Amino acid sequence: MSYLEKKSTYFEGENLLNEPDEAIVRVFVENEDDIPFWKDIFDKFNLRTKIHPASEISLARGKKEVLKQKNRVGKFLILCVDSDYDYLLQGHTDNSKTINESPYIFQTYTYSIENYKCYAESLHRVMVRATLQDKQELFDYVRFLKEYSVIIYDLFIYSLHYTKEKSDGFTIEDFSKTIKLLEQVDYSSQGQEALAKLKKAVKEKLAILDKIPDEQIKQFKAELHKLGVEPENTYLFMKGHTLYDNVVCMFLRPIFQFLRSAQSKRISELKQCETEAKEMEKQYRKLVTKDIELVLLRNNTDYYDCFLMKKILSDIEKYNQHCSI
């Protein structure tokens, strides 16, 4: 019998063979990259979990594959998925209804895990880990992502509204393409030139879209406000890969490169002799990473104070109390 054929009741029977404190909960996630994220969360509740990628019998991956098991979930078999827009759609699609109502399906509440990895308040610490330098004054990560979010907010509302109404007039892909930063950010000016270009692109896109009545938009914004969507935090709800690849890394890379080069220059200026400088430079290069993106994606877990993460923790707490595992 494959995992796709096993229901929670099967695993419950399997757990009867174990000691009470050794019960194992099977967890299915979208792909291998998601396993550390969810494992870290479940470990905080001392839940013994065995986490699998979407399919154990094929290379099929993704949310669609995970949700094929929605009718098999229960106390000992749970699913974890990216929310995409499903949290915000609040039951307007079958997927949204299933994910928001099932106590055995957990979601990110952000668009995806990548949004947590790009959590603004964590980015300076990411840079410290990557470069071993604490230069917080160099760039205001929180301010930049707040300003970025405010700029894209109205277009995001349109994107989500079009999705809710199942209209092809403005897709998530169209939205994501418009809000990309096309060039590396000039951190010396706090990214103001990049934000100005973005503001212009967003304004032009809004001008050509079919206008949604003001009262309708106002009501929609009020509904989303109740779910936590604000102009200043819109980046948490946009497509995660776009945020990661085409926004956050567009300012992390140049800052990372500058700090590494600056440290090499500092070592050279402080050297007592050529041999000493080479040894210090060798040690620094050995200790720091060559890839800021890897630190961001694999090592950043400083997002637990994000209000959306608190919703995940609350959901698991309720599950834990109800199931008494």
Please check whether residue 141 is in contact with residue 123, taking contact to mean a CB–CB distance below 8 angstroms: yes
- Name the strands in the sheet holding 49-52, side by side, starting at the edge strand that comes first in the sequence: 49-52, 25-28, 77-81, 105-107
Q: Residue 18 belongs to what H/E stretch?
A: none
Q: Which of 123, 141, 159, 177 is nearest to 293 (CA)?
A: 123
CA distance 259 to 249: 15
Quick one: how far is CA 73 from the chain centroid? 24
Q: Residue 198 has what pLDDT? A: 98
DSSP tag of 28: E
Confidence at residue 271, expressed as pLDDT on a 0 to 100 scale: 58
pLDDT score for 80: 98
196, containing H or E segment: helix 192-208
**Which domains are present in the chain?**
3-110+314-323 (3.40.50), 115-301 (no CATH)
Burial class (CB in 10 A: 0-12, 13-18, 19+), 294: exposed
Residue 218 token pair: 């106002």
Per-residue pLDDT of the chain (325 residues; tens, 9 = 90+): 555 555 545 445 444 335 445 679 999 999 999 999 999 999 999 999 999 998 877 888 999 999 999 999 999 999 999 999 999 999 889 999 999 999 999 999 999 999 999 999 999 999 999 888 899 899 999 999 999 999 999 999 999 999 999 888 899 999 999 999 999 999 999 999 999 999 999 999 999 999 999 999 999 999 999 999 999 999 999 999 999 999 999 999 999 999 988 877 776 656 565 665 566 666 666 657 668 888 899 899 999 999 999 999 999 999 998 876 5
Beta bridge partners of 106: 80
pLDDT for 313 equals 98
Report the pLDDT value the prediction gives residue 267, as an integer from 0 to 100: 62
Per-residue tokens: 94? 């079958």
